[in-house]
Structure 1
Amino acid sequence: MSITDIQMLFKFIGGLGMFLYGMDAMADGLQKSAGHKMQQLLGALTSNRLMGVLLGTGITAIIQSSSATTVMVVGFVNAGIMNLQQAVGIIMGANIGTTVTSWIVSMSEWGEMLKPEFFAPALVGVGAVFSLFSKNEKKKQIGEILVGFGVLFIGLGFMSASITPYRNAPIFGQAFSVLGRNPILGILAGLVVTGIIQSSSASVGILQTLALNGIVNWQSAIFITLGQNIGTCVTALLSSLGANRTAKRAAVIHLMFNVAGAVIFGIIMFILFQMNPVLASSRISSVEISVFHTVFNVTNTILLFPFAGLLVKASGIFVRGNEKEEASDSESEMKRHLDDRILETPSFAIENVNHEVVNMGYAALENFDVAADALLTSNLSEIKQVEKLEQKIDHYEKLLTDYLIKINNQSLNEEQHILVKNLFYTISDFERISDHCENLSELATEKANRNIIFSQEAESEMKEMLKAVRASLEHAIKARETSDMSEVRSVVQCEENVDSLEEELRERHIERLSTQSCKPENGVVFLDALSNLERISDHAHNIAGYVKEEI
C-alpha cells in the first residue's frame, strides 16, 4: 500500500467521522429547537396506530436515527408509558423517517449549487458565528443545525474524494458483481456493516457515496439496502436485553417488520433483475438509492399496517414468559419508569421525570395526611407508617436526582435547563415536606407518651391549620402536574392564609398559656406543630414559584 493509498484511507475515515459527527450535531440542534414540541408529540400519542406512524416518522426525522427512535420506544414500553399496539405504529413510522437522511445525502446530485463543496463551508461559517457570538438561544440552536449540516456535507465530500481515484479499480466492480448475483450475500453485507456502525442512516450514506462515484450497480445496491434495514434492528435488540418481556417484544416486532419487508422486496427485485439483466448491472445513482429507500419503507408500512396486530401476537411466540411483571411496588415501578433508553430524546425524558416528581409529590401528600391524623389521634401505627413513607420518599429523592443528573448531561436548550433545575429544587422541597411530616409524627409520639390532650378549642384550631396547609400542598402538586397558572395563584392565596392563620393561632395559644387554661407541655407540642405546618406551606409556595418561572 502506497503513501497515497494510506492518505486516501485516512481521508475516507476522516470523512466518515465528519459525516457521523455532522449528523449527530444537526440532530442535537433539531431536538433543542423542537424542545416542547417533542413533549406535545408524546401527548398526542393515542391508541390510534396511524397517529403512531406519523409520530414515529416525525421523531425520526428530527433525531435522524430510526435506531434511536426504536431504542426510545423499547424504553417507553419497558417503563409502561406505552403499550405494544402504540409501539408498533411508531416503529413503522421510524422506518419512514430515516429516509430523510438519504435524501439529504443525495442533494449533491440535484444540481451544481447543491454540491457539498459549493455551500457546506458557508453553512459552517454562518453556523459558527451564530453558535459562538449570538446571545439569542434560538439563533444558537440554528447555528448548531447549520454547523452539523455543513460538517455532514464536508464529510461526504471527503469520502467521495477519497474514493474517486479508485472508481475504475477492478476490486469494486468484482465485489459489487458478487453481491449483486447473490442476494443473500448482499443483504448480509448491508446487515453486518449497519450492525457494526449502529446506524442505517450512516451505512446508507456510505453506499450513496460509492454510488456518487458510479461504482455501485442496481442489483447490489438494492440487496445491500434491504440488509441495512435489517441491520438497524441490532441496536434495539441489544438495548432490550436488560428490559422486561414486553419491551423485548417491541424490539422483536421491529426485527420482524424489517425482515418481512426485506423478504417481500428481495423476492420481487430478484425476479425483476432476472427479467431485466441490463437494469441489474447498470449503475445506480445516489438519488435512485434515496427513491428506493423511501419506496421500500413507505410500501412496507402500507403492506404490513393492517397486520400490526398479528406482529404483536407473533412477538409473543418469540419472546415467551409470564405476563405478570416481577416488580409491582411503587419504588420498582419508578425505577422502571426512569429508563435510560428514554434519555435518547431528552424532551421525553424530562416529561417522564416530571411525571415521577408529581408522583413523589402525591407520596408526600399521603405522608402529610397520615402525620396529620397521627398528630390529632396519637395513633402509634400511623406514626410508624410516617417513618416508612419518609424512607420511601428519601429513596425517591435519590432515584430522581440521579436521573435528572443524567438528563442534565444531555444536549438541552435553555428552556429545558430551567425545567431540569426547577425539578431538582422541587424534589428537594418535597423531601423537606416529608421531613416536616416526620417531625409532626415525633410530636405525635411525644403527645402519646406524655398523655397530652389538646383542648377542644386547640384541636379545632389545629384542624383548621391542617386543612389550610393541605390545600396549599395539593394545589402545588397540581401546579407541577398541569403547569396551570390558576393552581399557582391558589397556592399563593393558601400561603397567605396559612401565614396569617399561624400568627393568629400562635397568639391565641400564648394567651391560653398565660391564663393557664392550657398546660405548658401541651403548648410546646402545639406551637412546634404550627411551625412545622407553616414550613410545609412555605415549601409548597416554593414549588408553585418554580412552575410560575416556567410558564
Structure 2
Amino acid sequence: MTFFIILGSLGIFLFGMKTLSEGIQKTAGEKMRQVMATMTHNRVAGVGTGFLTTCLLQSSSATTVIVVSFVNAGLLTLVESIGVIMGANLGTTLTAWIIAIVGKFSLAKIALPIIGIGTPFIFIGKGKWKSMGEILIGFGLLFYGLGALKDAVPDVRSMLASTEPEIVQKAESWRAFIENISGKGYLSILMFLALGVLLTIAVQSSSAAMAITVTLALNGWIGFQESCAIVLGENIGTTVTAYLASLGANTNAKRAARAHFTFNILGVIWMLAAFYAFIPMVESIGNSLPDSFRTEKHSTPIGFNLAIFHSTFNFINICLLIGFVPWIARFVKKWVKDDESESDSRLHFITQNLMKVGEMNFPEVQSAVEGMADITLEMYDDFENMFSDRTIDLTPAVEKSKDLENTTDQCMADITQYLVRLSSSELSRRNADDVSSMIRIVSELEEASDCVHRLVMLTDRRNRKGHSPFSDETTLELKKFTRLVGEFITFTRNNITPPISLNILKKAEEFESITDEMRRNLNKSSLSRMQKDGDLKREMLQIDINNQLEKIGNHCLNVIQSATGTVD
C-alpha cells in the first residue's frame, strides 16, 4: 500500500510541476521567447537566461526542449544554445533547495490555501487570469505532492526504534543491504549513479527524481554519499529529454542535444575523480550554515547538504567548462555530421514535434514561413537574371526552378500540418489568429512560387522559339515591371510574420496598385501591336508574362493582408 501512496504522491508532484510550467509559459511565453532569442549574445548572458528560465519553469527539461526548438528554428546558434543549457543545469538546483526548505514545514498547510486561491481563476478566469490560476494550482499541487511524498516514506530511524519486531527487522535488513552495496568504493558510486540515470529516465523529470532522492535521504533510507551519486546520475538522465526533442529536428538541433549530454557527462567525470575529496567540503559548508537551518540535534539536515552539493557541482562545472564552449561545439559538429540530404540554410525544415504549450512553438513555425519566402524570392531572382538574356540555354535554370517549386509545395504541406496540430492546443486569442494567418500566408507563398515557375517556363519558351525582340521602349517598361515585382516580393519577405502594422499594409496596397496599372498598360500596348500586324505569338507570350507578374503582386498583397489580420 505504501508503494502506491508514494506513486500517487509522485504523480501529484509531477502534475503540479507540469501545470505550473505550462501556466508560466502561457502567461509569459512570448516574453520568454523574446528574452531567449535576444539575451544570449554571449556565454554569460546565455547562462543567465537559462538559469532564470529554468527557475521560472521549474524544469530544466522544459528549458532544453525550448532551446532545441529555437536552434531548429535558427533563432539560436549552437554556441549560444550551449550557454543556455549550462544555465538550465544551474537553475534546476532550485528544486533541491525548495525541497530542503519546505521539508521543515507542514506542506499541506501551505498547499491547500494556494490551491483554494487558484481554483476560482480556472473556472471564471480567461486568458492571463486563467493561466495565473494554473500557476497557483501548480504551486499548490507541487507542494502537496512533496508533503505527501515526505509523509508516505517511513523514517528508517523511527522503524528501528519501533516496538514491533517485523518493522525493526525490515529496517535492519534495508540498512544491511545499503551497507553491503555501499562498501565497494567507486563501484558502489557507479551503481548508485546508474540508479540515478534510470530513475530520471523513468520519471522523465530530474526535479521529480531529486524529490525522491532527497526524501529517501531525509528518512534515512540512503546515506549522503549514495544520494550524491544518484544526483550525478540524474544529471545524465535529464539529457534524454533533450535528445528525444531533437529527433526529427535539423542537424544543429541534434548537436544542441548532444552538447547537453557532453557538458553533463564531462561534469560527472571530473566529479567522480574528485568525489571523495568533494564530499567532506560540502559537509563542511553545511556545518557552517546558521542554526536556523539545523535540526534540534544541531546536525545539518541531509536535504541542505544535497542542495549544496547539487548547486556547487553545477556552478563549478559551468566555471570550468564555459571557456570550452567553442571546443564543445566543434566536438558535437564532428559527432553529428552535416546531413547532405537536408536543404541548405534557405529553410529550416519544420519538425512535427510540438512542445506541450502552444505559444512556445511559434518561433519554429515563423522561421519555416520565412524560409519558404526566401525560396520564393530566390526563384524570382533567378527569373530576373534569365529574363534579360534571350540567347542562353535555360534547361538547367528550368530544372532548378522546378526543384524549388516542389520544395515550396512540400513546405506548405508540412507547415500547414504543423499549424493544424498547433491550432488544436490551448492558445491565446492572438496566437490562434496568428495560426489562421500563417495558414493563409503559406498558401499564398506557394501560389506565388507557382507563378514564378510559370514565368521561368514562359521565358524558356521565348528563347527556344526565337520570337522577335521588343522595341527598346517596351523592353525598358518590362524591366521596370519585373524590377517592381521583385521589390514587392522582397518587401513581403521582410514583413511576413504577424503582427504587422497598418502602415506596412498601406505600402503593400500601393505596390499592388502600381503592378495592376503596369500590367494594364503593357497588355494594352501588346493588343495595339497585334492590331497593327505585330508578332502574334510574341505578344500573346508577353501578355502571359504580364499576367503572371501581376498575379505575384496579388499574392504578395494577400500575404501582407494576412499578416495584418485584415483578410476576411
TM-score (norm 1): 0.80
Matched, 1:205 2:211: yes
Q: Using the alignment, how far apart are the partners of 1:473 and 1:531 within structure 2? A: 16
Q: CA deviation at 1:41?
A: 2.3
Question: 1:231 — aligned with what?
Answer: 237
The alignment status of 1:490 with 2:507, answered yes or no, reads: yes
- The CA deviation string for residues 231-261 of structure 1, in whole angstroms up to 9 with x for no partner, is 3344446667888584434422222124434
CA offsets, 1:351-400, max 9 Å, x none?
23322321221211121233345556555334444323212322333343
Q: What is the rounded CA distance, in whole Å, between the counterparts of 1:327 and 1:284 in structure 2?
A: 63
Task: From 322, 325, 347, give the equivalent of 1:308.
Answer: 322
**Conserved in 2, the CA contact under 8 Å of 1:361 and 1:430?**
yes
Is 1:127 aligned with 2:118? Answer: yes
Cα separation, partners in 2 of 1:498 and 1:194, compared to 1, 3 Å:
same
Which among 15, 19, 23 is matched to residue 25 of structure 1?
Answer: 19
Residue 372 of structure 2 corresponds to residue 360 of structure 1: yes
1:432 paired residue number = 447
5+ residue gaps, structure 2: 160-166, 290-294
Q: 2:109 aligns with which of 92, 115, 118?
A: 118
Query: Could you tell which deviates more after superposition, 471-480 or 396-405?
Result: 396-405
Structure 1 residue 423 displacement after superposition: 2.6
Please give the alpha-carbon distance, in whole angstroms, between the structure 2 residues aligned to 1:315 and 1:445. 46
| Distance change >3 Å, CA 539–CA 303, structure 1 → 2 | same
Q: How big is the shift at 1:83?
A: 5.2
Asked whether the equivalents of residues 35 and 413 of structure 1 are also in contact (C-alpha less than 8 Å), the reply is: no
Whether contact under 8 Å (1:79, 1:339) holds in the other structure is: no
1:133, distance to aligned residue in structure 2 (A): 2.9
Alpha-carbon shift at residue 88 of structure 1 (Å): 3.6
Q: Is the 8 A contact 2:37 2:76 kept in 1?
A: no
Asked whether the 8 Å contact 2:419–2:439 carries over to 1, the reply is yes
Aligned to 2:202: 196
Change (3 A) 1:362 1:293: same
Question: How much does 1:25 deviate?
Answer: 1.7
1:200 Cα deviation (Å)?
Answer: 1.3
- More helix per residue: 1
- Counterpart code for 1:370: D
2:279 counterpart of 1:269? yes
Alignment pair present for 1:65 and 2:80: no
Contact 1:211 1:284 in 2 (8 A): no
Which position in structure 2 is the counterpart of 1:11? Answer: 5
TM-superposed deviation, 1:207: 3.1
Q: Return 96-105 or 80-89, whichever deviates more.
A: 80-89
Is 1:327 aligned with 2:340? Answer: yes
Q: Give the Å deviation of 1:487.
A: 4.7
* Partner Cα distance (1:341, 1:302) in 2: 34
Residues in 1 aligned to 2:321 and 2:202: alpha-carbon distance in whole angstroms: 31
Question: What does residue 252 of structure 1 align with?
Answer: 262
Amino acid at match of 1:100: L
1:478 Cα deviation after fit: 0.5
Q: Note if 1:528 corresponds to 2:528.
A: no
Match of 1:330, SS?
A: coil
Match of 2:128 in 1: 138
Which of 152, 155, 168 in structure 1 is aligned with 2:142? 152
Comparing 240-249 with 9-18, greater Cα deviation is found at 240-249
1:100 aligns with one of 84, 94, 102: 94
- Give 2:549's aligned amino acid: L
Letter in structure 1 aligned against 2:234: Q
Distance 2:235 2:152 in 1: 26
Measure the CA separation in 1 of the matches of 2:299 and 2:56. 26
Range moving further from structure 2, 254-263 or 36-45:
254-263
User: Counterpart of 1:479 in 2: which secondary structure?
Assistant: coil
Aligned sequence identity (%): 28
Contact in 1 for aligned 2:231/2:310 (Cα 8 Å): no
Deviation at 1:341, TM superposition (A): 6.8
- In structure 2, the residue matched to 1:38 is 32
* Equivalent position SS for 2:340: coil
Judge conservation of contact 2:282–2:309 (CA < 8 Å) in 1. Answer: no
Q: Which residue of 1 is the match for residue 409 of structure 2?
A: 394
Deviations 1:20-57 (A, max 9, x none): 12211211111122222222223225452111211211
The 3 A distance-change label for structure 1 pair 547 and 316 is closer
Query: What root-mean-square deviation, in Å, do the aligned CA atoms of Structure 1 and Structure 2 show?
Result: 4.3
Match of 2:164 in 1: none
| Change in 2 beyond 3 A, CA 1:489/1:69 | same
Structure 1, unmatched stretches of 5+, are: 1-5
CA contact 1:57–1:97 (8 Å) conserved in 2: yes
Instruction: Describe the shift of the 1:109–1:159 C-alpha distance in structure 2 as closer, same or farther (beyond 3 A).
Output: closer
Using structure 2 for the length normalisation, give the TM-score.
0.78
Deviations 1:52-71 (A, max 9, x none): 21121123223332234345
Partner Cα separation in structure 1 for residue 329 and residue 343 of structure 2: 28
- On the 8 A contact 1:476/1:487 being kept in 2, the answer is no
Contact 1:249 1:316 in 2 (8 A): no
The C-alpha deviation readout for 1:376-435, integer Å capped at 9, x for no partner, is: 655533444432321232233334334445555665444433333333222211110011
